[in-house]
Structure formats: C-alpha cells, structure tokens
Amino acid sequence: MQAGHGAEQLTYLKLPALPYAKTLAGVQLLFLDANHPDSAQATATRHHFVGIEISGSTLTLTTVAWTGEVLDTAVITR
C-alpha cells in the first residue's frame, strides 16, 4: 500500500478491508494497516503479532505483544 491509497488498492485487488484474518492449513494470518495503528485494530488482535525478516540465508521470527514488548525470537539459518 502506498501513498495512503490502501483501501482503494485492496478493493482493486478484491481483498477485504483491513484489518482481516486469513486462515490457511495450520496458520492464521492477521493483516493490519500499519499506516493507521489504532484501537480498532488492536481489538482485532488476541495475543501477539509475528514479525518476519529475511536477510540472505537467515529467517528471523519475532513475536511482539500489542504493547510493543518482544515476547520471543527464533532464528533459522540455511
């Protein structure tokens, strides 16, 4: 999403408005609008967020509470 046109871009791609959850086999993803952090989105979360970073051959997963506290980190290197 760029330049504050997220809602229009989601509509064009036939995706639901944010926030929304998508469940796949064994995982549930929560999509939020980082441009508009607010209490409405905070109430959509139950426990925590997972940040995913990929750098070269390293994958880092970081769980973060809605308060911003880092709960856990896992690093996988290939």
Confidence class for position 24, pLDDT limits 50, 70, 90: confident
| Residue range 63-67: mean pLDDT, rounded | 78
DSSP per position, the chain: --TT-HHHHHHHTT-PPSSEEEEETTEEEEE--TTS--HHHHHT-SSEEEEEEEETTEEEEEEEETTS-EEEEEEEE-
For the full predicted model, state whether its pTM sits above 0.75. Answer: no
> In the chain, where are the structural domains located?
1-46, 47-78
Q: What is the reported pLDDT for 14?
A: 81
